[in-house]
Amino acid sequence: MKLWAWVLIPAVSIVISGHDAPNSETHFVLERNVPVPMRDGVVLRADVMRPPEAGKFPVLVYRTPYGKDAAQQEYTTFKHGVERGYAVVIQDVRGRHNSDGDFRPYENEGLDGYDTIEWAAAQPWSNGNVGTFGLSYPGAVQWLAAVQNPPHLRAMIPAMTFSTPQNFFYAGGTWDMSWIDWIWDNIAWDTRAKKNLPGPRTYREALAAWKEEGPKMLNTLPLLDLKPLQQAAPYYFDWLQHPPEDPWWNWSELRDKYARTRAAVLNLSAWYDDNYGPEGATTNFAGLLKARQGDKDPRTHLLLGPWVHGVDNTAKTRSGEREFSPTAAIDFDEVVLRWMDHYLKGMDNGVDREKPVRYFVMGRNQWRDADQWPPTARETSAFLAPASDGSSTGRLQTTPFDNQDSFSEFVSDPSNPVVNMYDSSGAHDYRKLANRADVLTFDSALLQEDTEITGPITARIFVSCDCRDFDLWSRLLDVSPDGTAINLMSPGLDVLRASYRDLSRGRQLLSPGTIYELTLQNLITSNVFLQGHRIRLQISASFTPNFSRNLQSGKSEVNSNEMKKAHIRVVHDAKHLSQVVLPLVPVVR
C-alpha cells in the first residue's frame, strides 16, 4: 500500500497578496490541492488561482509533471493571468507529486487532459472558455488532449514540443539518449522515494550521482541493460521494445489528427530548441492550415526565435556562444496572455490581423513577419566535391562534380564514436571536428555577399558501406573568417539511420557495397551567412551521447552490443550528385 502524506491535505481557499515589484500588488484567491476526478476514478490535484471578486472567468489550464508548487515559484504567467481576469488551474499530472495514479510519461495525458479541461469548464467560477499553455512536457500534454477534442478548449499555446514520436522518442531512426538524463534528473528520484527503491531520492542527490552514473548509463549496451532505471522507470524499457515504425506509437502521433481540434493554436519554438521543437512547430502549423483550408481565420500562428529550450531562455539574447540583438528576447507571459485575450475573451487586440508567421533571422539578427512558412525561396543545390590541392577539406560547389567514380571515405568505429564536446544546448564552435579522420568536411567558397538560408533544408547523399547499417549525420555550420564553425540547429534534425531510409517500409538492412541515396529532410534554420563566411557540411556516422550509436553490425543497440568497424563512402560523381538543397531568400538590406 502506498502512503502519500500530501494526499490527505484538504483543498483550502485563501486570499493571497503577491508582490512582483515594489509598487505593484496582486490579490487572488488560491485553492490548494483541489481534487479533479478522472474518468477511471483516479484523482488528480490542482491549485486554482482566481480573481478575488465574484464572477465567472475564462480559465487557463497548465498541467505539469515537475510539480505545481515548483511551477508557481518559477513562472510568473499564473499571477499575470489572474491580473488579466483569468482563473488559472495548475495541475500535477497523473502519478506525480500530489496526484494519484501511476506515472507513465505522456501515455495518459490525452484523456486526463480532456477530463481536466472539461472539469475546469464546469466549475462555478468558470465561464466555459478554456485555454491551455506551457512549454516542453506542459506543451506536449496540450496537443495530446486537443486531439481528443474537448468541447470547451478554445485556445492553446503548445511551446517547444513535438509532432511525431518518430522525431521525439527517436530521430531519423536513432534512439534519443536524452530520455535517460530526463528520467534520472526529473522523475526517478521521486519514484524511488515513493516506492522505497534504492538509489537517489532527492533532486540534489540525483544530480550529484549523475556525475558518476550518467556517463556509465549513456555508454551502456545493450540499451535494455540499463539497470539503474529498471525499477524506477519500467516504461522506458517498454518504449525501447517498440521501433519507430511500430503502430504502437500512434497514441502520440499528431500528424494525422489536426482536424480533431478547433482550438486557436500558437505554435512556438526556436532554432536552438531541442530537435523536435522547430520541426514540431512548423509541422503542426502546416497541418493545422491544411485541416482548416477555407476558414477566414485559420486560428493558428507560428513563432520561431533564436533561443534554446525553456521558458526563461525566451527572455535571453544569447544562445550558447552566439549573441543576438536585444530584440531577440520576448515577453513570454505577454505572448501567452495576448493570444488568450483574443481567443478566450474576444478582445480586439489585433492578433487576428497580424501576419501568421514571425521568425528570427540569425546573422542578420532581426525579426521577420510573413504570410506563410516557409517563405518563398529559391532552392539552390550545393554539390559535394572532393578535396583539391592536397587539402583534407572537400568542397561545396554550385555545379555538379562530373568526374567518374569520385568518392570520399572514412572509417567509423562505434567503440570510438564522434563525441559532442558540449553538454549544453545552443550555438557552439565545432571547428575541431574537422581534424577527426572519421568526419568528412565540405566547405563552400568564401561568400562574396550576405546569403540568407531560411526554411527546410534537404541533404541528398549517396553512400555505400561494407556494413549492414550505419547512421548518416549531415551537420550544417556557419564558418567565420577566423575559423569558428557554428552549428545552426540542435543535434537530431540532421541524422538518418540508413536502414530507416524509407521508414514506411520498416528497417531494411544494407547490402554491403551497394550505393544508396539517403535523404535527410528535417534540417531547418533561418540564418544569414555574412560576406566572407563559408557554408560547411560535416558528415559522420555518430554524434554521441545525444543519440544512440549504430553498432554497424546489423544488430540493434537495443538488445545487442556487437560492434563492427565500417568503411563508409560518400559518393559524388556524375551519376551520384550528392548535394545539399538550400532555400535561398533575398537578403533584406
Q: pLDDT digits over 219-242, tens only?
A: 999 999 999 999 999 999 999 999
Tens of pLDDT along 407-438? Answer: 999 999 999 999 999 999 999 999 999 999 99
pLDDT at 402 over 90: no
| 392: confidence class by pLDDT, cuts 50, 70, 90 | confident
pLDDT at 196 over 70: yes
Quick one: CA torsion of 43, 49, 52, 55, rounded to 10 degrees? Answer: -60
Tens of pLDDT along 135-146? Answer: 999 999 999 999
DSSP sequence for 381-411? EEEEE---TT-S-EEEESS----SS-EEEEE
Q: State pTM to two decimals.
A: 0.94
Q: Which domains does the chain have, with CATH numbers?
A: 5-163+254-370 (3.40.50.1820), 174-243 (no CATH), 378-585 (2.60.120.260)
Task: Enter the C-alpha cell of residue 462.
Answer: 549517396
Task: Enter the C-alpha cell of residue 537.
Answer: 557540411
CA angle 474, 173, 515 (to 5 degrees): 60
Distance CA(194)–CA(136), nearest Å, equals: 25
- In this prediction, residues 494-503 reach a mean pLDDT of 98
Task: Enter the C-alpha cell of residue 573.
Answer: 560523381
Q: What is the mean pLDDT of the chain?
A: 94
Tens of pLDDT along 333-348? Answer: 999 999 999 999 999 9
Tens of pLDDT along 69-113? Answer: 999 999 999 999 999 999 999 999 999 999 999 999 999 999 999
| Cα 110 from chain centre | 19
Nearest by Cα to 579 from 403, 395, 384: 384
| 206: confidence class by pLDDT, cuts 50, 70, 90 | very high
